[in-house]
Amino acid sequence: DFSVQVNRGSGNAGIHAIQIVGTVIPEVKLIDVIHDAVADTTELVWESVPGQVFEIAKSLDLRGDPAMWPRILTGIQAGPGETTSLVVDVAAAEAEAFYKVFQIPAPPLFEDDFETDTGWVAIVNDALGNTNWERGSPNGTTGPLTGADGSANAWSTNLGDFGVDSDISLRSPAVDLTSVAAAELTFEAFRDGDGFGEFASVRFLRASDLLLLGEEVAIDMTFFDAGWVSQTVPVVVEAIGESVVIEFNFISDSSPDAFSGLSIDNVRMASP
pLDDT band at residue 4 using 50, 70 and 90 as cut-offs: low
Using alpha carbons only, what angle is made at residue 233 by residues 231 and 236, rounded to the nearest 5 degrees? 170
Fold classification of 110-270 is Jelly Rolls (2.60.120)
Euclidean distance between CA atoms 202 and 239, whole angstroms: 13
Euclidean distance between CA atoms 52 and 28, whole angstroms: 11
Euclidean distance between CA atoms 15 and 18, whole angstroms: 8
Question: Shortest CA distance to 56 belongs to which of 72, 77, 38, 40?
Answer: 72
Using alpha carbons only, what angle is made at residue 264 by residues 50 and 194, rounded to the nearest 5 degrees? 130
Percent of the chain surpassing pLDDT 90: 67
pTM given for the model? 0.77
Fold classification of 2-104 is Immunoglobulin-like (2.60.40)
pLDDT of residue 175: 99
Euclidean distance between CA atoms 94 and 16, whole angstroms: 13
pLDDT band at residue 11 using 50, 70 and 90 as cut-offs: very low
- For every residue of 186-219, which 3-state class applies, written as one string? EEEEEEECCCCCEEEEEEEEECCCCCECCCCEEE
Euclidean distance between CA atoms 45 and 84, whole angstroms: 6
Single-letter code of the amino acid located at 250: F
Least confident segment among 17-26, 59-68, 167-176: 17-26
Euclidean distance between CA atoms 131 and 251, whole angstroms: 9
CB burial readout 224-238, b (16+ within 10 A) else e: eeeebeebebebbee
Question: Shortest CA distance to 230 belongs to which of 261, 201, 264?
Answer: 264
Q: How far is CA 178 from the centre of its chain?
A: 13
Listed in sequence order, the residues at least 6 apart from 73 whose beta carbon sits closer than 8 Å to its beta carbon are 55, 56, 86, 88
> Could you tell me where the DSSP H helices lie in the chain?
none
pLDDT per residue as tens digits for the range 32-41: 888 887 887 8
On the 0-12 / 13-18 / 19+ scale of CB atoms within 10 A, 220 is exposed
pLDDT per residue as tens digits for the range 175-214: 999 989 999 999 999 999 999 999 999 999 999 999 999 9
Which string of DSSP letters, residue by residue, matches 47-60?
E--TT-EEEEEEES
Task: Give the residue-averaged pLDDT of 75-87.
Answer: 91
Which part of the chain has CATH 2.60.120.200? 110-270
The answer to whether 251 touches 198, Cβ cutoff 8 Å, is yes
On the 0-12 / 13-18 / 19+ scale of CB atoms within 10 A, 77 is middle
